[in-house]
Amino acid sequence: MRVMVNGNCVAYATSCTFHVAAQTEDSSTKDSTGDWAENEVTGLSWDAQTESLVTLADAGGGATPVSLMSLMISKTVVTLTFDQTSGAQNRVGQNAAIKRTGTAYITDVNITAANRQNSTLSVQFTGTGPLA
Q: Global pTM? A: 0.81
Rounded CA-CA distance 88/78 in Å is 23
Residue-level pLDDT at 87: 58
Beta bridge partners of 93: 85
Angle, CA of 68, 127 and 101, to the nearest 5°: 85
Residue-level pLDDT at 27: 95
Mean pLDDT of 106-119: 94
Mean pLDDT of 43-67: 83
Residue-level pLDDT at 81: 87
Q: Is a pLDDT exceeding 70 seen at residue 66?
A: yes
Task: Report which of 102, 124, 132 is spatially closest to residue 6, judged by C-alpha positions.
Answer: 102
Domain 2-24+40-131 has CATH 2.40.30: yes
